[in-house]
Structure 1
Amino acid sequence: MTAPLQPTAIHAVPAELCECGFRLLMIRQFNVGAVPPAFAIIDQRVMRMPQRLGRHGVSFAATFLPEVMSWLIDHLGRPSLHDESGRSYRNPRWPVVCWHDQERYWPSGAVTVEWFAEVAFQDHASWMAFRTRWHESLMGRNADADSGLGEADARESHDTEKEFADEAFQQA
């Protein structure tokens, strides 16, 4: 039996899967009065951990872990391509990655802002291949061991999977 999840918990949380991508909890932000916010970096196994900058900041760059990047390059090509004149452009086959924030109210009275990386694949076949290969990581587990830790309470469900994918594509 696991203890109830606390606002300061950094345990891996399973990704929210949708039709063509996923939403993954990355950071929990604590705002306390007039002081700079504090951040809890959530332990997950698909994206690189956000980097802490300076004394009070967190870089909101979102990129995949090296092993995930290698797999994506093998299956979709490099994230950046070059045209005939040598100018680089985004590989249209690569998934779109953006941020989503959501306030969360805890039974203890704490209020946090949860930051999710949203990843939307350009086609269903690429998403299914990714989902199959990285299933354990998306569920917040290592491929070789199941931590068994996750959120004890359910968050509000999102309206529809299509809305999530549409929002991610519009922000790209």
Structure 2
Amino acid sequence: MNMTAPLQPTAIHAVPAELCDCGFRLLMIRQFNVGAVPPAFAIIDQRVMRMPQRLGRHGVSFAATFLPEVMSWLIDHLGRPSLHDDTGRSYRNPRWPVVCWHDQERYWPSGAVTVEWFAEVAFQDHASWMAFRTHWHDSLTGRTAGADANDGEAEQRDAYDAEKEFAGKALQRA
């Protein structure tokens, strides 16, 4: 018998990335705002990006960066993220994907309201995206042995609407 957990806003296990023509959107953080206190954050257990929180000298910051093994793969396939011109000045490798944050309110059946923080990754060409998608397929789908990736998560958004919204924003940023 296949039983699934009820929808829970506090679930932190990996969820499948939303795949688009040029990249993906991956849930990384769930923010809880409760009254007049600082928000609480649930860090989602995904397998593509590094843990987003960084403790620095001046407090906590959040960054969307790839895991070391993903960075190595990207460097092997696209070159280093930063290149140097003839004068030695560094510049961004134009083949590298663009990574940015996207936030969205989520209303849960229990009445809870959270802010979902996604890393949006847009590749510069279709071939690079297809190679990445093929190699990192299991990580993008949030798969773990013997687990249902959607247990305890909110309902999936309509795929067409999510892809349309993501593609439009990715093109604006590029």
TM-score, normalised on structure 2?
Answer: 0.89
- Number of aligned pairs? 168
1:11 match: 13
1:3 is paired with a residue whose SS is coil
Query: Is residue 123 from structure 1 mapped to residue 125 from structure 2 by the alignment?
Result: yes
- Cα deviations by residue, 1:19-73 (Å, 9 ceiling, x for unpaired): 010000000000011100000000000000112537xx75221100010000000
1:50–1:62 contact (8 Å) kept in structure 2: yes
Inter-CA distance 92–52: structure 2 relative to 1 (3 Å threshold): closer
Partner of 1:135: 137
C-alpha contact (below 8 Å) 1:46/1:68 kept by paired residues: yes
- In 2: Cα distance, 1:169 partner to 1:132 partner: 23
Secondary structure at 1:67 match in 2? helix
Identify if the C-alpha distance between structure 1 residues 30 and 58 changes in structure 2 by more than 3 Å, giving closer, same or farther: farther
Deviations for 1:113-142, whole angstroms, at most 9, x for unmatched residues?
000000000000000000000000000025
SS of the residue aligned with 2:161? Answer: coil
> Structure 2 CA distance, aligned partners of 1:108 and 1:166?
32
Q: CA RMSD in A?
A: 1.8
Contact 1:25 1:116 in 2 (8 A): yes
Measured in 1, the distance between the counterparts of 2:104 and 2:60 equals 17
- Distance in 2 between residues matched to 1:35 and 1:51, nearest whole Å: 19
Alignment of 1:60-71 (within 5 A): 60-71=62-73
Q: What corresponds to 1:154 in structure 2?
A: 155
Paired residue secondary structure (1:114): strand
| TM score, norm. by length of structure 1 | 0.90
Aligned to 1:85: 87
Residue equivalent to 1:74:
76
Residue aligning to 1:107:
109
> Residues 52 and 63 from structure 1, CA distance in 2 versus in 1: closer, same or farther, beyond 3 angstroms?
closer
| Per-residue deviation, 1:2 | 2.1
- Give the % identical residues: 85
- Unaligned residue ranges in structure 2 (runs of 5+): none
1:59 is paired with a residue of what secondary structure? Answer: strand
Out of 11, 23, 26, the residue aligned to residue 25 of structure 2 is 23
